Structure 1
Amino acid sequence: MPRHTGLNAALLILATLWLSACSRHGIYETAIGLERSSAGLQVNTVQVDDLQIAYLANKEQADGDTIVMVHGFGATKDNWTRLARELTDDFNVYAIDLPGHGDSSKPMDLGYSLAQQTDHLARILDALALTEYHMMGNSMGGAITALYAAKYPNRVKSVVLFNPAGIMDYESELVGLVMAGDNPLIPSKPGDLERLIDFALEEKPFMPWPVLGVLEEKKIANREINEVIFEAIRDIGFLTEFRNRVQNIEAPTLVVWGKEDRIINYRNGEVFASLIANARLEVMDEIGHAPMIEAPDRSADLFRQLAHPPE
């Protein structure tokens, strides 16, 4: 059954559940499950030392390369399902819940600097026995992806950085808010998730209110660990070292940036691309902080061109 037909069926089932007055949590779990299924993905876990790591991977193996997807701050593996839907027929996708996020373990004292999270990711990929892959990351996950690609050049075939963190030559609207003590990236009360979505995304996907409500509850419950992680990745002293490290990336690299990004100014993309020898920049008009959510078809096309350039 074509993926779009499966998605239409999923929406019909969701509407039926909604009308039959199922619990909000039941609707949420069904909706998330259908979204994953329509993308050809299923949930798995792997034990990494004392950490249980959740991830999404193909239900059926594809006859193609592997792609590792790394989400951003406060996000989860499910941020990749819309893009994965465009790719799982031809590629084997692994979308990871980083420690402290999603359904993975959330120890408060693990260490969540960008460098430490890069090391955590390396241990996760080793535990999954992955040896060679394309990589893509968004925001904080983009910075982690860049550091990983620089540290393990023999493992990474290509790199896509969606609105990556790590370089802040040009300030954004977020900087002023955080300096004033108002961080829209960390929901703490009802209404904050809707504010976050409006702030982060220019092209917002449809999300039924029961799903939005349960997701907000989960975000608020994770407030404490998110505050720990946010402080860890704000290490201003690491920024110069970050620049030096990403210059070691050898793989073909595409930096994709939504021009309407309020979280990280899109003009930082020019700096990123200039630091990486084999990189180019693609700026998307009318797109915000998460092109893989807002423009999954265009994002997939750009990745395919990078992974398999015409001869």
Structure 2
Amino acid sequence: MHRPSPVKLLIILAASLLFTACSRQDIYETAIGFERSSAGLDAASVEVGNLDIAYLRNQEANTGDTIVMIHGFGANKDNWTRLAGYLTDDFNVYAIDLPGHGDSSKPLDIGYRLEDQAGYVSRILDALSIDEAHVMGNSMGGAIAALYAANHPDKVKSVVLFSPAGILEYESELVKLVMEGDNPLIPKQPGDFKRLMDFALEKEPFIPWPILGVMEERAIANREVNEVIFAAIRDAGFESDFRNAITRIKAPVLVIWGKEDRVINYRNGEIFVAAIPDAWLEVMEGIGHAPMLEAPEESAQLFRKFIGPTAE
């Protein structure tokens, strides 16, 4: 059982709001709220030290397991909304905005290495009284989820890594562009956000243009913190330490990768499953860097099959 896809209703909603002379910001807020509600989610926040952390959680708690979702670089908690819509009937979902992202605090003077961010996740989950969970992560969030699982084996039931960062044995189009001084993951001017979407996603979800415009404005406004975060990860020299760390993961791990991923080469999935004691790789044809966003229903099915009867 799951809630229906909100895409068609989102089109009607955006069109109707345009005729009521709402601002683009109003349309954005209404549409995002509609998507969350359709997925059975509400927005909330929690203080973690000096940080204000935003997150999404079930509108109605149930007796199922908890799932924690960790987004990628430059992204936010709403990257998980459409996947969550297929899971909130049976699981208690928490999709968090990492520091520096979404609606959470964005200080420039804290650590943003992968290890630092895994530490923030630990503090956030402690603040939310989450003692045990299935942990999902995409891209940078995948690497963070893997490190969290390695560091807290007693708190993780399973791990799902969607196109995780952390290992770059096989180069991608992004690596070549960054080396040439061009980073499509950090929008700087109008048009850059559409370029980012086209680059990162092979199967783009429908987003009405007023909403896309606000998303671009927010991404450009976050340029400075995004540059700080990207530099912290790039300069950390983490790969050998990361590879050693993931060998300590005790929970079963499912690695899901889109074969058309231009951000991180899907063949790096082979390195992940070779390093992690209990891991499987699922490669999705015709999908890019964010399988949970591009193919949410199939991603949910893979997760349910992966964890077995407890998903029923």
TM-score range, shorter chain: over 0.9
2:198 is aligned to 198
Q: Which amino acid aligns with 2:284?
A: M
1:32 is aligned to 32
User: How do 1:41-120 residues align onto structure 2 when only pairs under 5 Å count?
Assistant: 41-120=41-120
- Does 1:238 find its partner at 2:238? yes
1:132 is aligned to 132
CA distance in 2: counterparts of 1:223 and 1:51, whole angstroms: 20
1:268 is aligned to 268
Q: Normalising to structure 1: TM-score of the pair? A: 0.97
Tell me the secondary structure at the aligned position of residue 188 of structure 2: coil
Once the two structures are superposed, what CA deviation does each residue of 1:197-236 show, in whole Å capped at 9, x if it has no partner? Answer: 0000000011111101111000000000000000011135
CA distance in 2: counterparts of 1:298 and 1:188, whole angstroms: 33
Q: Normalising to structure 2: TM-score of the pair? A: 0.97
CA distance in 2: counterparts of 1:149 and 1:2, whole angstroms: 28
2:286 is aligned to 286
Unpaired runs of 5+ residues, structure 2, are none
Once the two structures are superposed, what CA deviation does each residue of 1:132-173 show, in whole Å capped at 9, x if it has no partner? Answer: 000000000000000000000010000000000000000000
Tell me the secondary structure at the aligned position of residue 251 of structure 2: coil
Larger deviation: 4-13 or 122-131?
A: 4-13
CA distance in 1: counterparts of 2:291 and 2:139, whole angstroms: 11
Q: Which amino acid aligns with 2:178?
A: V
**C-alpha displacement of 1:18:** 2.0
* % identical equivalent positions: 66
1:2–1:92 Cα change, 3 Å: closer
Once the two structures are superposed, what CA deviation does each residue of 1:212-268 show, in whole Å capped at 9, x if it has no partner? Answer: 111100000000000000001113521100000000001011000000000000000
Preserved CA contact (<8 Å) 1:7 1:38:
no
Preserved CA contact (<8 Å) 1:252 1:279:
yes
**C-alpha displacement of 1:305:** 1.2
1:5–1:197 Cα change, 3 Å: closer
**C-alpha displacement of 1:307:** 1.8
Unpaired runs of 5+ residues, structure 1, are none
Q: Which amino acid aligns with 2:156?
A: V
Alignment root-mean-square deviation, CA: 1.5
Q: Which amino acid aligns with 1:184?
A: P
How many residue pairs get aligned? The number is 310
Q: Which amino acid aligns with 1:23?
A: S
